[in-house]
Chain A
Amino acid sequence: MTPDPHRDVALELDCREMPCPMPVIELARHLTDVEVGELLAVVALDPAAAVDVPAWCRMKAQDYVGADAAPDGAPRYVVRRVS
């Protein structure tokens, strides 16, 4: 499932330079910065994020929407806040 790049991501976190597990930590810190139902995205070069963001969503009962790419090609992981 690829998110629409034009979709309204309420907040995008730039975690490009961060090693694991910082991208997931940033995600947790900023979850409540978006409203329930809104999208939150993490841009991360850390290869662990591809597994850890969906795993975090499963553990914290949030909705993993999918991965796409930022304009510079960096992987972007999109999450919907559900609680």
Chain B
Amino acid sequence: MADYDRRQGAGGSYNSKKRRYREDDDYDRRGPRRRYDAPPHVRVRKALIAIADNPMRPWHDEVQSIATLFTDNWDDELLRSNFVDLVLQLAVEQPLKTPFTAAVVLLANATRPEVVDMLLSKLVKGIEAKIEAGEWRDVKLYLKLLACLQGCLEGEGVFPVLEELFARAVDLQTASSEDTIGTEIVKIILLTLPYVMVAAPGQWHQKAADLMEKTEIIASEPHTLQAMIEPYHEESSEENQTPSQSLIGLLQSQLQTEANNGWALPCLPRPWEFPLGDVEQQSKLDAAPKHALPPITIPQTVVAGPRPLFPEVHFSVYANQDVESVPPVTNAAASLIRDVLVDTINILDYNRNVTARNLIDLDCYFAPRTFAARATPFDKLRDIEPPKSTWKPEDVAVDAVFSQLFQLPTPEHKLVYYHSVLTEACKLAPAAIAPSLGRAIRYLYRNSPRLDLELANRFLDWFSHHLSNFGFTWKWTEWVDDVYLPDQHPRKAFILGALDKEIRLSFAQRIKNTLPEPYKELITPEKEKETPDFKFASDDTPFAAEGREIAGLLKRKAPDEEIEAVIQRIQSQAIDREIDALVASTDVFVTCVLHVGSKSLSHVLAAIERTKDRLADAGAASDAARTQIVSAVMAYWSAHPGVAICIIEKLLNYSILTPATVINWVLLGRAGSTRGEALAHSYMYEMVFNTVMKVTGRVRQVAPKADHPQQQQPDHAMPDENAGETRELEVKAMRSLFAAIEDALVSWATGTKDEMIESNGDGETDKLVRRWAERWLRVFRRRAAIEEAFLVDAAKERARRAAEADGKANENANGEDAAMAHA
């Protein structure tokens, strides 16, 4: 209250200096804070959260000081309970720090062994709860913490838990070859094992060997779904058909190599090891009491959890370089470092600044000398003498983000999150990160023809968005030769697509100024115009007078009858000229609506809102007329496909267009009239992809709903009487949409499309078109497969809930009977 008064007093007049300077955020103008020693639980919290962040502080010092601060204040009850909770929370929120917090626990164990029992009992409950919920990443992270405590566990410690988990994996894998939970469990076991081995060095070699002998069968078998999530889509003719290696397959062989080397695992930190001089601490630690791990119950049936599981492959944009700037896939470090970085990235989506900070500082959390010095230029890596590491921390960080951005079928978060992490990393350490990003971009550009088309478009989207955050600067000169390639060449298509997206985020003149000469021609004068030309302004256009008239009527919001009169005139003229009357009038009308709304999206949306009945009637009248709506929009905004796509999306929302109209317009209409060359335009792909996502999104909304309102979740605001019927309809519509896409693309891909047979044109373009169609096909087949899998899961879930509801109903009925008996 005092602050408030003081501020008011200082405010004085409206024009006070103070007001003028006040930014939105610094409302809080207190004097210098009085210094005081924070209570121990606050100090421990602060220190534990920041553990290992400071590279200047030796780990053993830091770990010891926190442990001492904690044990010295053992009587502070708040501190005691907070400590355990915080260790658990850090394990799942900041996994890079797990070995360090574990080391604090191990040291505290020497003075206050009770703390380990407190922690273990909560940890065990946590693991059980996460398994029950199918939160497999949290299971993995808790197990990692447990693994780091192996040194203070009685008996075999973590091993029995891992063995029991493995038993579940075997059951799942034998039951179904498409099972993904079993694969996930094996991955977790393999990723936990290395931490056990460094936490209790030298003791468990046989145990580890036994376990790995068992995991071998599951890990080395390629998963049936793997072909679908392969990031590269090689041309069928190409010889180089080596598929990416599955993550668990790699892990298994990497760990085998480690086992043969006595589990050296040089990259993992060992903050519980003290320097040779400090024998006293080390022996205290070694003599600390051991604890029994409370039993962990793993349910007989385990669930997949909220996120659908898919097999994973190892993806790197720094593969096959002449110097290893990232750990090679033969080395366990590749998987271990990647795993914890990816977890960090995906967990901390709520603060991209901290994610970026962690990525830049990643060398703080691994053993010294794991990486080359930060910001070492790539060329200088060559001068590093072995056995020193040539792994560039920036490359490792950037690689981890790209592995998520290019994750198939979909990464955990929206793609723009990964964009933002790269942007922040680049802002934090431009000199270090920018060159690494540059090399990643070159790799992806070179390989974009063989990338899965969905990923190629993600690359396009990221690239243009990234440049928009850094003044649109890129060394375009190095790709200058590709400007002269045909537009259907994948690399040229990338350039065209990227420039279009850059312009969407900025404006044509600005982007033109960032480009070297040959590129400038790619930006046509139409793109620089504020609004497109109105074709009816010229009398050469058929129906020019009528067009101008309708535009005038729309502008002054004339009543519909007046418009109808002009439409009638157009239609009768069209009949005289023997063209489709509805198509002709629809083209004029839609073009006029677009023209009237050309000033901005809200203008056009308002214009559509006012005319939506007429538009809907026109669209409903015939397929040809509906298709003409799309043609008119795409023609009017041809220089700005982004605007066209946006308008099409809104027309879909109004149900003026159907998804099938859009799909057919692209894959039959436009592709047909361009002999398939339209398939090379990224905005065509974007249009189809967005439409498909709209349809599948709708299905996903209705699929989980139970058939009858009484079975529906009480939290559904509106009970849906016809949920079952709606679902059937939506699913049917989705399937026929996918079928239509499949049909159209197959004939393009096999060259059996009439237009291709007739063309007899140059074989080179036809070959490119066939390849584009193959790439499209792969994307939408995958989408279809994923949606089918989703429907299967949703059906299971509905059945489970229905059974649950029945069970409850029976219980209630029994309860009533019992009550009656009592009466």
A and B form one complex: no
* Chain A positions near chain B (C-beta within 8 angstroms): none
